[in-house]
Amino acid sequence: MAQILVVDDEIGIRELLSEILRDEGYDVKLAANAAAARSARLAQRPDLVLLDIWMPDTDGITLLKEWSALGQLNMPVIMMSGHGTIDTAVEATRIGAQDFLEKPIALQKLLATVKNALQRAHAPACPELSLAAFPRSNALRELKRRIEQVAAKSRFVLLKTPAGGVVELAARTLQQPGRAFIDLSVSGNPLDLPALEAAAGGVLFVPELARLARMQQKNLGFAAERAERYNLRLVLATHEPVENLLRAGFDEALAARLFEAWVALPALAELRDDIPEIASRVLTRLFEAGDVPLRRLSSGALNAMRNHAWPGGWSELKAAVRSAALAAAEEEIGAEEMVRLIGAPPAPVAALPSLDQPLREAREAFERIYFEFHLRHDNGNMTRLAERTGLERTHLYRKLRQLGLQPGRRSEP
């Protein structure tokens, strides 16, 4: 028995559709708004959704975009509206809706549309996340705008990235639904015309230009010359300046073409306040793809991730979330489990003293920072502190008192 989720803010329409569909043998669940629809979608995993466009909290088109961006659009969705236009129907279909019903909905039209949608239903591959999945992040929303702005004028989008950047997340933003996304750095075989034809309308991606082998550079040049013909988008990333690439033997003409304009990416660590949402979205996507069981990240685990430096960037974060979800014994992933995977954050280091002061005061300020650090590091153990600092115990106690620091009180070996 197929399960259908009906999402409409009008109780009369919900009840009418529910009565009709139940009489036809369907299992029907109801949601009065987008928030209820999100919960029902996650808990029930319906076979089909009838989704109203005009709702008070979040409109149906926005909810459809959200499901698509999060990889949750793995069931047919039929949009409903009493104020439908051709443009709205086209937009809904482009996002991923399977059909469109205009209110008032005729009985036979409803049943035929539902039957056809269920017959044609298939579970598409769960798409990877892109910047579109994070509309609440000002930084990622602005980054998406800049990438799309450059892409509107050029088929080549160069991403200048620091270590630990969000390269693939940014590159996926330009991938259209159902279109190819090909990493040119994976294969060392020559690229040919049939391969470009198969990738038409898609994205050719290079995560680091400096790591391309000679044949891969030739493949990039081959694709660049034919990008317009095959409607290809080339998204390329590097943390190297163009001079370093040229010294390493990169083709000068191709480099000049690629470096005409670029977009600067942030390191993942610069997105500290967005990391809890990013991690939660990654976990949801992994669950929807069937890669991990249903899990959730505790506030402690999210805080540990927020404070991590993420030197491996986007790839490291995805691997950490996947590992935590697979290893967790309970539904909630705790802080200790996450810390075991990524390590505890480094202890904060006090800022250096101001140089705009007399030498004596500057030296005293530095000594205070120095001894505070080692007291924390050795848990107040004075024997180890004396060995580490090279001071005789009596002199060490005197120095700490002069600096206003309390000597260690812990038992010592």
182: enclosing H helix or E strand: strand 181-183
Identify whether the C-beta of residue 268 lies closer than 8 Å to the C-beta of residue 165. yes
CA within 13 Å, CB half, 37: 30
Quick count: other Cβ atoms within 10 Å of Cβ 131?
24
Closest CA to 264 of 172, 170, 138, 152: 170
CATH number for the 3-120 domain, one of 3.40.309.10, 3.40.50.2300, 3.40.50.720, 3.30.230.10? 3.40.50.2300
Tell me: pLDDT of 392 over 80: yes
**The two domains 3-120 and 131-264 share their CATH topology (first three levels equal):** yes
Class of domain 347-413: mainly alpha
pLDDT tens column, 247-297: 888 988 888 888 888 999 999 989 999 999 999 999 999 988 888 998 999
To which residue do tokens 């991690």 refer?
279
Quick count: other Cβ atoms within 10 Å of Cβ 117?
22
pLDDT category, 169, cuts 50, 70, 90?
A: very high
Tell me: pLDDT of 241 over 60: yes
Distance from C-alpha of 135 to C-alpha of 142, rounded to nearest angstrom:
10
387: enclosing H helix or E strand: helix 382-389
pLDDT tens column, 10-41: 999 999 999 999 999 999 999 999 999 999 99
To which residue do tokens 């009906």 refer?
6
Which pLDDT score is estimated for 43? 83
CATH number for the 268-342 domain, one of 1.10.8.60, 3.40.50.800, 1.10.3720.10, 3.30.2320.50? 1.10.8.60
Distance from C-alpha of 406 to C-alpha of 409, rounded to nearest angstrom:
8
Superfamily of domain 131-264 in the CATH hierarchy: P-loop containing nucleotide triphosphate hydrolases (3.40.50.300)
**Residues with Cβ within 8 Å of residue 140, at least 6 apart in sequence:** 131, 134, 271, 274
Which pLDDT score is estimated for 411? 41
Distance from C-alpha of 127 to C-alpha of 125, rounded to nearest angstrom:
6
Three-class SS state of 81: strand
Q: Flag whether the pTM goes above 0.85.
A: no
Distance of CA 94 to CAs 44, 151, 170, 247, 314, Å? 25, 19, 21, 45, 28
**Residues with Cβ within 8 Å of residue 322, at least 6 apart in sequence:** 286, 291, 292
Q: So where are the chain's domains?
A: 3-120, 131-264, 268-342, 347-413
Identify whether the C-beta of residue 305 lies closer than 8 Å to the C-beta of residue 275. yes
Sheet of 233-238, strands arranged across: 181-183, 203-206, 233-238, 156-160, 262-264
Tell me: pLDDT of 122 over 50: yes
165 CB-contact burial (10 Å; exposed 0-12 / middle 13-18 / buried 19+): buried
Distance of CA 222 to CAs 236, 290, 330, Å? 15, 37, 51
Rg (CA), the chain: 28
Tell me: pLDDT of 413 over 60: no
Average pLDDT, stretch 42-59? 89
Cross-strand pairs, 79: 51, 100
Cross-strand pairs, 5: 29, 49
Distance from C-alpha of 392 to C-alpha of 402, rounded to nearest angstrom:
15
199: enclosing H helix or E strand: none
